[in-house]
Structure 1
């Protein structure tokens, strides 16, 4: 039996990207009924700065040989925007995995499904996300998660989930 490469999961908005100044755009957002707010949020997010602590953590993860996989509930037509943000901020990830445009399910369910599919290719040893519902979904998949940042507008910080 072959061993799978180790990987970590990182979320984009609110985890890797400091969205504290634009979180009000999606404060009561539900993807199935408020796509315009979600679209505006992501367009604004790609102009926000990186969370430096997350950049440092991901550099450590890469230096010890782990793949870094970006998993986001953002719609897949935003792939070019996210890739541009990564390029502008000198970030490298080993894969970008986004929700389909037609997927209007809750973010935690969508992200858990994406990650469950990735577990066939990677031994996912940890995840970084800003949402406790997503952390619980990852926990059900056997993945420890660190809560990073948040959608409350608080300064980004890290806490084990």
Structure 2
């Protein structure tokens, strides 16, 4: 029993080590992406609420403006920190794709806000046409869904791995499984 059976700590360490070897790069990228996204989120949240509450800009317009400003910050953070180790393609290509995918993410967030405020708000105005409902729909639901989409799309199409074709739609297999 002394040397024949691997103990649970050794097995766990081996499994954890294997998982970190396999997915460590993805965990690091996701952590950096989350940090950049968190800062952009704070800018988005503060600017949206300032525009909507203090400046009395309509909520959908305020969300659009705050997202564009936050997206600019996110592009810089992701290009020069999160995925700085990835190959660089033409900056205009990266910028255009980044903002295209941000527009889709913005559409997700604005869509959630519009469904809440104008769809559900038409049925229950006292519940869904409030600042709290706007923030929940926009920042929790919309930003959550948009963030999942953005991480996948930036990683897949914008900030490429070495050897990845830069033309979207070309087929290639990644052996990393990510």
For normalisation by structure 1, the TM-score amounts to: 0.24
Bigger relative CO (Cα 8 Å, ≥ 6 apart): 1
Larger Rg: 2
Q: Which is richer in strand? A: 1
